[in-house]
Chain A
Amino acid sequence: MFSILRAIWTVFLHLFRRKVTVLYPEEKPRIPPRWRGRIILSRDPDGGERCVACYLCAVACPVGCIALQAAEDEYGRRYPEFFRINFSRCIFCGFCEEACPTCAIQLTTDFEMSEYYRHNLVYEKEDLLISGPGKHPGYNFYKVAGLAIKGKDKGENENESPPVDVKGLLP
């Protein structure tokens, strides 16, 4: 009996407590930098596209919402002809970012992606590609891995050592 009355009083006192609600559109919540939000395609420090159209992200994606088509430019450098992510299917797991060897595809802190029509959630390459290097400034895949060009394979240039055989067991 007494405990019931005390409970009622306690609840009444909550009227004067600070509210825990974050009034969202006016007051933005703090988003941690590793948040997995809207996906972007980043560029090299020199401004070239990072994506080499290796399809690893598309394979890693558990819901299969990434579609792309590889193409080669005149130097044999691969790039995606189109790159399409269907965000109405994406579960923002971040597997694509983990799979990407060139740090091209990255998840960002933006989550405000609501649309009135479902098909507006399909992002094309123009929508995805940004002008900067994203989370990995200064990283250029080909500066690290080398680049095979016509007549010269990787490591055959001057001052270059042959690439590591990643499938061998020897150190």
Chain B
Amino acid sequence: MSETARYLLIVFGVLAVMMSIAAGLIWVERRLLGFWQDRYGPNRVGPFGILQPLADMIKVLTKEDWVPPFADRPVFILAPAIIVITVLLAFAVVPFAPGISVADLNVGLLYFLALSSLGVYSVALGGWASDNKYALIGALRASAQMISYEVFMGLSLMGVAMLAGSFNLREIVEAQRRLWFVAPQFLGFVVFFIAGVAETHRLPFDLPEAESELVAGFHSEYSGMKFGLFFVGEYLGITLISALIATLFFGGWLGPLLPPVVWFFIKTFFFIGLFILLRATLPRPRYDQLIRFGWKVMLPLALLNLLVTGGIILAAG
């Protein structure tokens, strides 16, 4: 197979797999939430309800796609696309298996951090363009939340980068052959996980949406497939964070017996399940509690982790 064809295959393969995972997660999440609340969840469409995403898709695509007359039209339409694009772009550096990654960037980690920060524009612009006070409050919250969480998200990953001596995700995975980074970097893992939940604004940190306070937060005015895109973006975000947790702290594709790709997806899905479990368990904190928790607990913890890791590396020579 020629190089170009191989790359095209990988690019479109990753795109297709990610989109179908994002769609499938709609079903997985509702089903798991159902189980954890002693219900069944959607189990009617197809065997075990597995065709539910298809039904949802048909429904969301045939809904009236309405742009409010008071909205800032171009921005309003652009906003949902941004989140999907940035998250999909971030998948470019994720190494699914040796040799299977769209781009083998030597600043992969920084690239991911940059794109995940860009994702917040989607929420902020969507809320702003809606010209609706609830949407605006949601967007405002999202911006404040991202600023406070972005900081220690980056810092929590520095320990990993220091241990591996590289920003390249493939090399980071290779560096974990002896020991998964979750052991020496446990604090970093916890901080990154919490930051990841906040980053994808999932429950319990879904303050930009906060159905019980803000109608639907930043996407109050959205309908049809534009609303659907926000959802796809959210599920893609969960998948991305889970994939990165697996890559950075749990040895990515490394594992015995099974082929590397399978290991990668097992680990990723484990963390996706954890995300949903968190959603099923924890109530939403108040807004100021969330920000205070970010600046007063998580940031010092991330700095401490950085300091100790640096010290140990220096001492070890």
Which chain A residues have a beta carbon within 8 Å of chain B's beta carbons?
Answer: 4, 7-8, 10-12, 14-15, 17-21, 23
Contact = CB atoms under 8 A, between A and B. Distances in A.
B277 A19 contact: no
A7 B278 CA distance: 10
Interface string B267-290: 000000000011011100000000
B40 interface: yes
Given A21-B40, A23-B40, A15 B35 contact: yes
Contacts of A10: 281
A18 B36 CA distance: 11
A26 to B, nearest CB: 11
Interface of B: 35-40, 277-278, 280-282
Contacts of A11: 36, 277, 280-281
B40 A14 contact: no
A15 B32 CA distance: 8
Nearest to B41: A21
Contacts of A20: 38-39
A8 B273 CA distance: 12
The DSSP consensus for interface residues of chain B is helix
Nearest to B278: A8
List the 8 closest pairs (A to B, CB-CB), nearest first. A11-B281, A8-B281, A20-B38, A14-B36, A21-B40, A15-B35, A21-B39, A7-B281
B39 A7 contact: no
A14 B282 contact: no
A4 B282 contact: yes
Given A4-B282, A7-B282, A14 B37 contact: yes
A149 B39 CA distance: 63
Given A7-B282, A21-B40, A23-B40, A14 B35 contact: yes
Nearest to A20: B38
Given A8-B277, A11-B277, A12-B277, A19 B282 contact: no
B275 to A, nearest CB: 12
A15 B130 CA distance: 39
B186 to A, nearest CB: 14
A23 B40 CA distance: 9
A95 to B, nearest CB: 36
Contacts of A21: 38-40
Nearest to B273: A12
A14 B276 CA distance: 14
A74 B280 CA distance: 71
A35 to B, nearest CB: 24
Contact of B36 (A4, A12, A23): A12
Contacts of B278: 8
